[in-house]
């Protein structure tokens, strides 16, 4: 079947999006959104399930899963993911439409991040069901608490995944844009210990941990963007107990990102060694804690997952691009679980602000793209 002949219901899609963003959905309290999605999936003839991810991270609900049994043997098994939560202020959004673009009324975010992804997936599935289209297995998962640390996928049971290719509908830009690479991210916590003393009476008897940290930071050869794929940023710093005490402690957290794990490991070791040398030279000591924030994504353009999305977009006439993003998303964790996954653009714009906007053309094209991928997955069967 020619996917260009498949017509999505643009009015239904717009109304679905508006309904989705009207529901309060702060991170870790997405229960109303989950209830709405459960009903919509039941209306599609699916049997939605809620996992226990919310119980593991203190949320009011878990991730919502759905499965559409395929009718084409041998088709690529697909996994579509989008997150339910939106950043504050998100107490339920009043949508304004102007010249083909959706906005909030200015008091909340719009919620296109990530209801544009959810709405696109739901509309594509609706088209499949109501037109009895040929398709392989399609699994969907709408996750919790992406905005505060991807907790939905962090606490996901990977044995539930029954797919060959994953698509996270959660990127800005126009449909046709594919983010097929993103960095592994780590946090390095550096605990500098000096020696306390009275700041006014005998400061010479103390060892100022804040100043030791400052000396080490000054010794950094470069920070921020190190090269096209590597970043290092000092994100948090704290220390001291009172203004009349030479500070005995100072803690820093450094965010490091790179898709090349060996390169990232070298950067971490070199940075820690530099800090240790500077701190110990001043009479202090250093403790180091490492936190793995997110695994990396590194699928080349010839990977089957990328090629499938590319072929679908090209048949729809969308300009196609692939590329690297310095951010981490749910796709990072899905890749870490063994499911090759990429980020697909849905048109969301000016996200995380009350000026957020979503062009209806992009929303419609996002749904067409999902539908095109489902169709393309059966192409060689």
The catalytic residues are: 85, 146
Cis peptide before 169 (omega within 30 of 0): no
Give CA–CA dist 200/192, Å, rounded.
Answer: 22
Contacts of 234 (CB under 8 A, 6+ apart): 217, 223, 252, 253, 254, 255
Which element (helix H / strand E) includes 257? strand 249-258
Contacts of 51 (CB under 8 A, 6+ apart): 62, 63, 65, 156, 157, 160
Give CA–CA dist 370/24, Å, rounded.
Answer: 26
CA distances to 40, 145, 332 from 29, rounded to whole Å, are 19, 8, 23
Q: Is 131 in contact with 6 (CB distance < 8 Å)?
A: yes
Which element (helix H / strand E) includes 218? helix 209-218
Phi-psi region of 92 (alpha: psi -120 to 50; beta: other; left: phi over 0): left
Sheet holding 285-294, edge to edge: 224-227, 230-239, 249-258, 184-193, 285-294
């Amino acid at each position: 079947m020619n996917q260009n002949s498949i017509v999505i219901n643009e009015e239904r899609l717009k109304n679905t999006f508006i309904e989705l963003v009207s529901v309060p959905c702060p991170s870790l309290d997405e229960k109303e959104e989950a209830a709405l999605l459960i009903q919509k999936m039941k209306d599609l003839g699916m049997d939605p399930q809620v996992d226990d991810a919310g119980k593991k991270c203190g949320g009011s609900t878990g991730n919502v899963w759905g499965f559409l049994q395929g009718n084409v043997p041998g088709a690529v098994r697909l996994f579509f993911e989008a997150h339910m939560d939106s950043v504050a202020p998100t107490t339920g959004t009043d949508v304004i439409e102007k010249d083909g673009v959706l906005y909030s009324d200015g008091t909340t975010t719009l919620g296109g991040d990530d209801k544009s992804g959810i709405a696109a997936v739901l509309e594509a599935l609706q088209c499949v069901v109501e037109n009895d289209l040929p398709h392989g297995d399609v699994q969907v998962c709408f996750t919790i608490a992406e905005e505060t640390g991807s907790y939905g996928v962090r606490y996901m049971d990977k044995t539930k995944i029954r797919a060959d290719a994953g698509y996270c509908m959660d990127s800005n830009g126009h449909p046709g844009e594919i983010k097929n690479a993103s960095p592994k991210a780590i946090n390095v916590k550096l605990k500098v210990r000096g020696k306390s003393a009275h700041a006014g009476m005998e400061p010479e008897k103390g060892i100022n941990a804040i100043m030791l940290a400052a000396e080490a930071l000054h010794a950094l050869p470069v920070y921020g963007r190190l090269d096209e794929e590597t970043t290092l940023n000092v994100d948090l710093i704290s220390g001291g107990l009172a203004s009349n005490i030479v500070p005995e402690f100072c803690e820093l957290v450094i965010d490091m990102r790179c898709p090349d794990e060996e390169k990232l490991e070298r950067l971490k070791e070199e940075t820690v060694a530099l800090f240790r040398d500077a701190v110990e030279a001043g009479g202090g000591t250093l403790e180091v804690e490492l936190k793995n924030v997110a695994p990396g994504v590194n699928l080349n353009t010839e990977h089957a997952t990328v090629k499938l999305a590319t072929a679908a977009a090209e048949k729809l006439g969308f300009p196609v691009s692939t590329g690297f993003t310095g951010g981490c998303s749910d796709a990072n964790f899905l890749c870490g679980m063994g499911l090759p996954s990429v980020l697909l653009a849905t048109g969301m714009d000016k996200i995380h602000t009350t000026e957020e906007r979503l062009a209806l053309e992009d929303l419609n094209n996002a749904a067409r793209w999902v539908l095109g991928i489902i169709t393309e997955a059966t192409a060689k069967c």
